[in-house]
Amino acid sequence: MLPRSHHRLRLVLVLVALAGVAVARVSGGKEEDAACDAANRPDEALLRPDRLTVLLSGYSERRLPLLRAIAGAYAAHPLVLAVVVLWCNPSTPDRLLLRGGFPPRVTLRRAASASLNSRFLPDPSIRTAAVAVVDDDVLPDAAALSFAFAAWQAARPGSLVGFFPRSHHLDLARGRWMYTAAQPGRYSMVLTKFMILGANLLYKYSCSPELVAARAVVDRERNCEDILMNFVAAEETGEGPVLVEAGSVRDWGDPRNDANAGAGEGGAMKDVGLSSRGGTGHWEKRGECITAFHRLLGRMPLRYSYGKVVEAAVGEQGLCSKGGRLVRCDQE
């Protein structure tokens, strides 16, 4: 008779087979060491310039049905070569995570911790020059995704492209940096709600010895990984990011969704994200991150961008559910 542990192992293997999804476990420090090993770094000349890899991060078990649907939508896009779902909640049991399965061309990786730095961990399986790092509650339509990818291809190498802009501002009275919404006509960051970047920036973010202390700030605050990536990209290009508007972008996590939205809509999703839970404290904390990164690096690489690349007039914050209809999130 097999030991009970062997039966559990067989059960997990059966579940994986039934789900039809590849599952890999990220082992924390060892995985980081392997990803940053020069021998495992992909040859950039061999990365496909015409396709896109989507890195979709998930943590909330309540969002699993939505995450599966969003992963499937990305996987069905003709420009997307592969979708990698990085599950960052180590306490989620396999039986719950794999229930219902994932669509074809979607790979599931489990992180050993909830570190937000895992979002930018290099993956040797990435075979495209461009990577879209996205949240589990935002989905651009097919036209918007295609337009954003085209904008990234046309931008300066190393640039970030996104739909959701933010800015930094120096508070002279308090001697510290502030994190703000995009100022009229000016911004300096794009969010990981949806961010397209070069695969090489994953290596720079995760493997640069100069960023060890900055990555520790991300771990301590459980926040600000997107701000740090904007630092990395601005250091690379000497310029700000590229803001695009095209098609439509559905944002389930925006707190301006109807409070009465049903399960699977804004009401079930908006209260599990960092920004919606933190209120003004969230903005203060992100300003503190900017100040900390500036102090640790000894310089301020963030640069302002002006204007945006536009195909259609759509609000940057995306679409929200209001009164049973999808409308711009700032529409009353």
Question: Residue 278: what pLDDT?
Answer: 52
Q: Which residues contact 225 (CB under 8 A, 6 or more apart)?
A: 116, 117, 119, 120, 192, 218
Helix (H) or strand (E) holding 230: helix 225-237
Tens-digit pLDDT profile for the chain (332 aa)?
A: 445 444 443 433 333 333 334 444 544 456 677 778 876 677 888 999 999 999 999 999 999 999 999 999 999 999 999 999 999 999 999 999 998 888 888 999 998 889 999 999 998 889 999 999 999 999 999 999 999 999 999 999 999 999 999 999 999 999 999 999 988 889 999 999 999 999 999 999 999 999 999 999 999 999 999 999 999 999 999 999 999 999 999 999 888 876 544 444 444 555 555 554 456 789 999 999 999 999 999 999 999 999 999 975 544 556 777 666 667 776 65
Q: Which three-class secondary structure state does DSSP give residue 240?
A: coil
Q: Per the domain annotation, does 215 fall within a domain?
A: yes
- 226 labelled catalytic: yes
Contact 148, 194 (CB under 8 A): yes
Contact 247, 319 (CB under 8 A): no
Question: Distance between CA 81 and CA 53 in Å, rounded?
Answer: 6
Q: Per the domain annotation, does 134 fall within a domain?
A: yes
Q: Per the domain annotation, does 226 fall within a domain?
A: yes
Q: Per the domain annotation, does 14 fall within a domain?
A: no
Expressed as residue numbers, the domain containing 93 is 21-328
Contact 165, 243 (CB under 8 A): yes
pTM of the entire structure?
Answer: 0.82
* Active-site hit among 123, 136, 137, 226: 226
Q: Per the domain annotation, does 273 fall within a domain?
A: yes
Question: Distance between CA 242 and CA 305 in Å, rounded?
Answer: 7
CA-based angle 116:117:123, to the nearest 5?
120
Distances (CA, A) of 31 to 15, 25, 110, 229: 24, 9, 11, 20
* Domain count for the chain: 1
Contact 75, 156 (CB under 8 A): no
Q: Per the domain annotation, does 228 fall within a domain?
A: yes
Q: Per the domain annotation, does 221 fall within a domain?
A: yes
Contact 50, 80 (CB under 8 A): no
Question: Residue 13: what pLDDT?
Answer: 32
Question: Residue 298: what pLDDT?
Answer: 97
CATH number, domain containing residue 81? 3.90.550.10
Where do runs of H (alpha helix) occur along 61-127? Answer: 64-75, 94-98
Token reading at 132: 């879209």
Question: Distance between CA 85 and CA 167 in Å, rounded?
Answer: 28
Q: Per the domain annotation, does 9 fall within a domain?
A: no
